[in-house]
Structure 1
C-alpha cells in the first residue's frame, strides 16, 4: 500500500553519533601516538630543509659522499645533478687545491679557435704524436680523442695523467697485498686491459664537462697517495725520503699536507711496473728552497703549445 507524505512533514535526519571508545587501553595508545607524532614533527627532517642549506652541507662532503647522497631519492638526485658543477668547484677549492694544479683538465677542442682546430686534428701530426687507435703510446692509459680534446703536448700530458691516476688506483689492492700486477704481452692488446683503460677514459670524459666527476677523480688519487705513503713508510728497507703525512692528514680527506716539502715527481710512469716504487705521484711542480714553497709548471703552457703548433704549421 502506497504511503502518502504530507508536505508539512520535515525530512528525517540521521543524528546517530559514534560511540566514543573509553577504554583505558585505547586512551593509553592515543597518548603514545600523540607523543610519537609530536616528536616526529620536532625532529629535523633533511628533506624539509631549504635547498640552500642542503647545498651548504654538501659542499663540505667528499665527492663520493655527494654521489651517495644523490641516490637517496629523486629530489636529491635532481638537486645534485642540477648543482653538480657548483658543488664540484667548491669541493675542489676546499679539498683538492693542490691536486687540481698538478692534474688540470685538458682543454676541449670546441673551445679552441676554429682556425687552429684543423692543425690539431691533422692526421700526420697525430701520427707523429703516436695518437690514435692503431698508435696508442701506452698500455695502461687510453689515448685521447682528437675530436674531443686539444692535442697540444700539455693537453695530451694532462689527459694521460688523469687516466694514469685511475689506473694506479685500480691496482692499489695488488700493491698493498704484494700481489704482482698482471703483465701484458708487448705490442699486443688484451681484452680485459682494453676494457679497463676504456672505462677510465669514460670517467675522464665525464670530468671534462662535470666538475663533480673531476673532484671524484682527485679524491680517488688522494686515496691512492695516502695508501702508497703508508705502504712505503712501512717498508723498512726503503730509505728514500718519504712524504710527511700524519694520521690526521690522512683522515682529513684533503690534500693540504702535500704543501709540505717532499720528494719531487720527475717522470711519468711509462708502464705498471713503475707502480711498485711510486709513492706520491704529484707531477708538474718543483720545490723552491729559498721561498719554501712549491711552484706549479703548467700555468700558461697550453697557450704556449698552441702558438708552437701554429708556428710549425706555417714553416
Structure 2
C-alpha cells in the first residue's frame, strides 16, 4: 500500500516563514549609526548636485576655517575650494575682517619687487645689518630673504602674522591661568621648533592663498575676543579696555574694533607679554579730532624700498 495518500480536498501548503526580528540594544545602536551614515551620505550627494555658483554663495556665509574643512569632504569639494580660494578669501577679508586686514597685511614676495631692487635687498652686507637675522625671536622665525621682501614693512608684516598664530596657540593657557613654558636663552627645544615651523608654513600658505590669510585673521579675532573677556574679568586692571558686547562677539566680524581703545605700538618681543596683551592691532593710530582709527600701512612698503635705494647709494659714494 502507498505510504502517503493524497486527496483532492487537501489545501496547498503556504510558506509563512519570516525572518526573526532582532531586538536588542546592540542592534538598535547599529541601526541608528547606519541611519546617521545614510543621512550624511544623502546630504553630500544632494549638495554635489547644486550649481557651483550657489555652493560658493553658501560658503561665503561660513567662517574661513569651516570652508577649509568643507574642502576635506571629498575631491570635488576640495577642487571647488582650491579653484575659488581667491574669491572666497577676498569675500571674507572684505566683509568679515576689513579692519584686521589693514592691521595685518601680507609681506610681498621678492619676485614682486623690481629686479634691480632685489639685488639690493639680498645683498649680504644689508642682510647682516638686519637685527632679526642676528637675534631671531624665540616665538617668531625670520623670513627667508630669498623668497620674501625684507624691507622693514615686509619683515614686520611677516613677524605680526607669525605672532598672532603663536598667540592663538597659548590661549588655553591664558584662559586657565596656566603659565606659558619658558624657553631658556640660547636654547630651542623640539616643541618650540615644531610650533614656530608650523606657524611659518601657515603664513607661507597665506601669502599664496587669500583664504588662508582670512583664516589667520579669523584665528586672531577669536584670540582677541577671548583676551578682551579675560581682561574684563580682572577688576584690578584699571587700564583702558576694548569695549565689546556678547552680541558683537557672536557676529564673527571685526566691526567692534572700530571703537576707540588702546593702541598697539609695541611688538610682543617675548611670550611673557601675552599675559597683558588684550588686543594686538598694529599699523593704526587713533585720531581724536576725527574720532576714528587711521591705518598707516598704505604706501609704507614703497617708502621702505626707497630707503633701501637711498642707503645703497650712500654706501657707493666715495668718502
SS at match of 1:226: helix
Matches within 5 A, 1:52-201: 52-132=53-133, 135-201=134-200
SS at match of 2:61: coil
- How much is the aligned-residue C-alpha RMSD, in angstroms? 1.9
Match of 1:46 in 2: 47
Match of 2:212 in 1: 213
Shift of 1:94: 0.6
Matches within 5 A, 1:248-287: 248-287=247-286
**2:63 & 2:48 partners in 1: Cα distance?**
20
Structure 1 gaps of 5+ residues are: 1-40
CA contact (8 A) 1:102 1:296 kept: yes
**1:131 & 1:98 partners in 2: Cα distance?**
27
**1:171 & 1:194 partners in 2: Cα distance?**
15
Shift of 1:175: 0.4
Shift of 1:188: 2.3
**1:64 & 1:171 partners in 2: Cα distance?**
19
Match of 2:243 in 1: 244
SS at match of 2:136: coil
Q: After the TM superposition, which of the residue ranges 235-244 and 185-194 deviates more from structure 2? A: 185-194
C-alpha distance after superposition, 1:54-78 (max 9, x if no partner) = 1111112110110121112111111
Q: Give TM-score scaled by structure 2 length.
A: 0.83
**1:70 & 1:155 partners in 2: Cα distance?**
30
Residues 141/296 of structure 1: CA separation in 2 closer, same or farther (3 Å cut): same
CA contact (8 A) 1:140 1:272 kept: yes
**1:221 & 1:126 partners in 2: Cα distance?**
30
Q: After the TM superposition, which of the residue ranges 138-147 and 118-127 deviates more from structure 2? A: 118-127
2:233 aligned with 1:234:
yes
Match of 2:299 in 1: 300
**2:119 & 2:148 partners in 1: Cα distance?**
13
**1:110 & 1:239 partners in 2: Cα distance?**
47
CA contact (8 A) 1:162 1:204 kept: yes
Structure 2 gaps of 5+ residues are: 1-41, 315-319
SS at match of 1:242: coil
Shift of 1:131: 4.1
Q: After the TM superposition, which of the residue ranges 121-130 and 85-94 deviates more from structure 2? A: 121-130
Question: What is the aligned residue count?
Answer: 275
**1:266 & 1:78 partners in 2: Cα distance?**
41
**1:60 & 1:123 partners in 2: Cα distance?**
47
**2:299 & 2:59 partners in 1: Cα distance?**
32
**1:136 & 1:204 partners in 2: Cα distance?**
21
- Which segments of structure 1 move beyond 4 Å, counting only runs of 4 or more? none
Residues 225/251 of structure 1: CA separation in 2 closer, same or farther (3 Å cut): same
**2:223 & 2:89 partners in 1: Cα distance?**
20
CA contact (8 A) 1:136 1:143 kept: no
